[in-house]
């Protein structure tokens, strides 16, 4: 099982999703999908708190990793889970690059290249000081 980083956002759910999208796209990353999991649940008569999965990456950065270890494609593109918890606080979760090191035969040191977005994610959901 891989580690997960969890950050409590200083912003509402909707604002957190927007801030993350803007921050990622502003650094040249591609948002491949934003899956509204609450809407999917509601479409079948179920309810759940606001939950969105953001699927993002950069083919220029990810492709060399998949060429070095084809099965590593299971980990790409990267994902962020944004959800509202029972107390109404917004949580942001992701698998840190360090936890991906060596998975699926990826050569040592290559997973670190995926960590560039992590400080960006933290800054996007932290209160302005």
Q: What are phi and psi of 125, to 5 degrees?
A: -110, 0
Q: Which residue, among 92, 22, 19, has the nearest Cα to 50 in the 3D structure?
A: 92
Token pair recorded at residue 116:
């560039």
In the chain (129 residues long), the average pLDDT of successive 10-residue segments reads: 87 98 97 98 98 97 96 97 98 96 94 93 89
Strands in 9-50 per DSSP E: 30-36
pTM: 0.94
């Amino acid at each position: 099982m891989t580690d997960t980083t969890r950050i409590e956002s200083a912003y509402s759910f909707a604002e957190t999703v927007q801030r993350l999208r803007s921050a990622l796209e502003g650094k040249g990353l591609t948002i491949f999908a934003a899956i509204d999991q609450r809407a999917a649940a509601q479409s079948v008569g179920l309810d759940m708190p606001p939950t969105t999965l953001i699927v993002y990456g950069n083919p220029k950065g990810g492709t060399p990793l998949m060429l070095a270890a084809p099965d590593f494609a299971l980990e790409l593109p990267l994902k962020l889970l944004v959800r509202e918890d029972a107390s109404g606080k917004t949580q942001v979760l992701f698998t840190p690059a360090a936890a991906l090191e060596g998975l699926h035969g990826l050569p040592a040191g290559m997973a670190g290249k995926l960590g560039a977005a992590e400080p960006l994610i933290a800054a996007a959901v932290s209160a302005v000081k």
